[in-house]
């Protein structure tokens, strides 16, 4: 019977798991879950972002008792960047009354996006997801403030071409990207721009299994001798690419990454050798700002934070960007509360809030985050806000601001985005389009 004894234990666990009811949420709080990825091959990039998001919410609860007296129910559901876990987390959080979805992975975003019309829960994907989500008429429930990937691609090209893309004529731009929906996202825009301005685009994919061993990709770069390398990397790929770039002695000042390729931890691997590497960013770290001081005092010092203080994570671009992401969400909650004169808002009201974000200089200053985020506002037709971004440069120990606020080439992006949004809606008939929005 020994065997059956063990079995009984195993099945008892299973039954106990099945029998439990999902806990009800407290009266005056709003549930703001985050589909986090602190495990898996992308964890390195995820952890500081998640920590930042979490700490800002904790700080608001600690300092102000939430927003207008409503506690912010920040909760993580671990996906490990795995789309299957993503579905599970989405369903779980939906059942528990979530009023927002922060899907993180582009794959999960693609799965959740069509459901958002049916389930009526807004998706907040700051700086990631589907670039065409900027079209709020088509993607009523999806938000990707303050800038989309296509914005990013356009800004990077503008920056390396010194403001005029025609300067790139006859040059070769290598596009080193993760072979994954995330990495492929900017290719349509880059191809269009390459055709228009006469530069050669050389897409170099990095497979998920090759992230740490990119010698073949960098041999190709050495053979092709591109004038610039633009990187769309995430997780372990960034560290791999930067080490290889140092090894092949590729000039760092011709190597530029998107905002997710600017993790301090990755650059620390190469230290001084990475000097000159640039990464676009729509957030600027400023540890002396009021909100960061509050977080330090109320969350980090008492030991509520999960950050790695020895590594100096508090100062990292990614940590403080996580804070900015939560700031945008919290602002959406507050906007909705004010407009509907309600305390505990629902998902539909939050959608209105996110659609009417107004983070101008004055408001950012009021929040104590002036200069950390470029000012932007959203509207029913513009779910991105197109704030623009700065270029950051690695100085050997940290990232420093290396440009004024850059802006994307709207004339080039908007028609493509509109077309992509229309194609998406057509492919997913019947797809509701917000006709009231002008």
Partner 1 sequence: MELLNVLFIKPFADMFAAPDFLLQVLWEGLVSGVLYALIALGFVLIYKSSRIFNFAQGIMVVFAALTLVGLHEAGVPALLAVPLTLLVMFGLAVAIERVVLRPLVNQPDIILFMATIGITLFLVGFGELIFGGENKVMITEQLFIPTGSFELEPFGGFLLIEQKDLTAVIGAVVLVGLLLLFLNKSKMGRAIRALGDDHQAALSVGISLSTIWVLVWFIAGIIALATGIVWGARAGVSFALEVIAYKALPVLMLGGLESVLGAILGGLAIGILEKLFEIYWGQPLLGGNTETWFAFVFALIVLLFRPQGLFGERIIERV
Partner 2 sequence: MLYRTAGQFKTSYHADHALFPVRQDAWLLGVILVCAFVVIPAVASEFAINALLIPVLIYALAALGLNILTGYAGQLSLGTGAFMGVGAYACYKIITIFPDLNLVVAIALSGFFSAAVGVAFGLPSLRIKGFYLAIATLAAQFFLVWLFEKWSWLYNYNASGAIQVANVDMFGITVAGPNAAPVTQYYFVLGVVAVVTWFAINITRGRIGRVWKSVRDMDIAAELVGIDLMKAKLSAFAVSSYIVGIAGALFVFLWRGAAEPNLFDIPLSFRVLFIAIIGGLGSIMGNYLGAILIVALPVMLGTLPGAFGLTIASATVEHLNVMIIGALIIFFLIVEPHGLARLWAIIREKLIMWPFPH
Q: Which is nearer to partner 2, 118 or 411 (CB)?
A: 118
Region binding partner 1 by CB under 8 A among candidate stretches 67-75, 124-132, 203-211, 357-365: 203-211
Q: Which is nearer to partner 1, 129 or 265 (CB)?
A: 265
Q: Are 258 and 231 in contact (CB under 8 A)?
A: yes
Q: Which is nearer to partner 1, 234 or 390 (CB)?
A: 234
* Residue 58 burial class via C-beta count within 10 angstroms: exposed 0-12, middle 13-18, buried 19 and up: buried
DSSP string, 264-279: HHHHHTTGGGGTT-EE
Q: What is the largest CA-CA distance in the chain?
A: 80
Q: Which is nearer to partner 2, 76 or 395 (CB)?
A: 76
| Residue 209 binds to partner 1 (criterion: CB under 8 A) | yes
| Residue 397 binds to partner 1 (criterion: CB under 8 A) | no
Nearest distance from C-beta of residue 345 to partner 2, angstroms? 22
Torsion, Cα 364 369 371 375, to 10 degrees, reads -30
| Residue 438 binds to partner 1 (criterion: CB under 8 A) | no
Residue 31 Cα to chain centre, angstroms? 20
| Helix residue ranges per DSSP H, 65-176 | 83-95, 106-119, 149-160
| Residue 240 binds to partner 1 (criterion: CB under 8 A) | yes
Nearest distance from C-beta of residue 379 to partner 1, angstroms? 38
Contacted by 429, from partner 1, partner 2, none: CB < 5 to 8 Å by type: partner 2
x-or-dash string of contact with partner 1, 43-72, rule CB under 8 A: xx-xx-------------------------
Contacted by 204, from partner 1, partner 2, none: CB < 5 to 8 Å by type: partner 1
Nearest distance from C-beta of residue 89 to partner 2, angstroms? 9
Q: Are 60 and 282 in contact (CB under 8 A)?
A: no
Backbone angles phi, psi at 437, to 5 degrees: -80, 130
Q: Which is nearer to partner 1, 282 or 319 (CB)?
A: 319
Backbone angles phi, psi at 180, to 5 degrees: -165, 155
Name the nearest CA neighbour of 363 among 332, 386, 402, 342: 332
Distance (Å, rounded) from C-alpha 241 to C-alpha 223? 16
Nearest distance from C-beta of residue 407 to partner 2, angstroms? 23
Q: Are 250 and 229 in contact (CB under 8 A)?
A: yes
Region binding partner 1 by CB under 8 A among candidate stretches 159-167, 188-196, 245-253, 404-412: 245-253
x-or-dash string of contact with partner 1, 167-186, rule CB under 8 A: ------------x-------
Q: Which is nearer to partner 1, 81 or 90 (CB)?
A: 81
How many other CB atoms are found less than 10 A from the CB of residue 91?
12
The DSSP H or E segment spanning 421 is helix 410-427
Query: Which of 268, 296, 343, 422 touches partner 1 by CB under 8 A?
Result: 268
DSSP string, 148-181: -HHHHHHHHHHHHTTT-GGGGTT-EEEEEEESSH
DSSP class of residue 20 equals P
Q: Residues interacting with partner 2, by CB under 8 A?
A: 3, 6-7, 10, 13-14, 16-18, 20-23, 36, 38-39, 75-78, 80, 83-84, 87-88, 91-92, 94-95, 106-107, 110-111, 114-115, 117-118, 130, 179-181, 184-185, 187-188, 205, 207-208, 306, 420, 427-430
Window 292 to 321, contacts with partner 1 (CB under 8 A): 308
Name the nearest CA neighbour of 74 among 83, 62, 86: 62
The DSSP H or E segment spanning 54 is helix 43-64
Q: Which is nearer to partner 1, 249 or 438 (CB)?
A: 249
Query: Which of 29, 39, 379, 401 touches partner 1 by CB under 8 A?
Result: 39
Helix (H, G, I), strand (E, B) or coil at 401: strand
Region binding partner 1 by CB under 8 A among candidate stretches 35-43, 163-171, 357-365, 375-383: 35-43
Backbone angles phi, psi at 359, to 5 degrees: -105, 75
Binding site for partner 1 (CB under 8 A): 38-41, 43-44, 46-47, 179, 204-213, 215-217, 219-220, 222-223, 235-236, 239-240, 243, 247-249, 265-266, 268-269, 308
């Amino acid at each position: 019977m020994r065997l059956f004894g063990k079995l009984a234990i195993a099945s008892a666990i299973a039954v106990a798991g099945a029998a439990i009811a999902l806990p009800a949420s407290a009266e005056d709080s709003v549930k703001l879950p985050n589909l986090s990825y602190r495990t898996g091959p992308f964890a390195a990039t995820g952890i500081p972002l998640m920590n930042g998001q979490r700490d800002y919410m904790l700080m608001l609860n600690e300092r102000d008792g939430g927003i207008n007296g409503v506690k912010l129910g920040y909760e993580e559901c671990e996906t490990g960047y795995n789309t299957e876990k993503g579905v599970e987390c989405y369903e779980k959080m939906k059942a528990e009354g979530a009023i927002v979805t922060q899907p993180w992975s582009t794959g999960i975003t693609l799965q959740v996006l069509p459901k958002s019309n049916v389930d009526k829960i807004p998706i907040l994907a700051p700086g990631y997801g589907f670039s065409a989500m900027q079209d709020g008429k088509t993607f009523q429930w999806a938000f990707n403030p303050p800038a989309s990937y296509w914005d990013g691609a356009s800004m990077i090209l503008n920056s390396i071409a010194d403001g005029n893309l025609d300067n790139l004529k006859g040059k070769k731009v290598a596009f080193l990207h993760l072979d994954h929906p995330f990495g492929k996202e900017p290719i349509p825009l880059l191809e269009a721009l390459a055709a228009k301005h006469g530069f050669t685009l050389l897409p170099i994919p990095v497979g998920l299994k090759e992230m740490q061993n990119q010698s073949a990709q960098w041999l190709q770069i050495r053979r092709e001798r591109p004038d610039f390398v633009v990187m769309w990397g995430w997780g372990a790929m960034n560290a791999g690419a930067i080490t290889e770039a140092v090894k092949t002695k590729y000039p760092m000042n011709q190597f530029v990454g998107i905002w997710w390729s600017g993790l301090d931890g990755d650059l620390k691997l190469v230290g001084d050798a990475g000097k000159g590497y640039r990464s676009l960013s729509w957030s600027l770290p400023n540890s002396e700002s009021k909100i960061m001081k509050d977080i330090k005092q109320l969350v980090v010092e008492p030991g509520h934070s999960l950050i790695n203080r020895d590594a100096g994570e508090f100062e990292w671009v990614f940590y403080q960007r996580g804070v900015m992401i939560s700031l945008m969400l919290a602002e959406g909650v507050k906007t909705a509360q004010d407009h509907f004169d309600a305390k505990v808002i629902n998902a539909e009201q939050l959608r209105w809030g996110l659609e009417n974000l107004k983070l101008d200089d004055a408001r950012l200053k009021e929040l104590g985050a002036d200069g950390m985020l470029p000012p932007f506002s959203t509207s029913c037709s513009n779910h991105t806000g197109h704030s623009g971004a700065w270029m950051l440069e690695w100085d050997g120990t940290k990232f420093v601001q290396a440009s004024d606020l850059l802006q994307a080439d709207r004339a080039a992006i908007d028609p493509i985005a509109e077309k992509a949004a229309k194609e998406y809606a057509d492919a997913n008939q019947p797809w509701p389009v917000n006709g009231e929005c002008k």
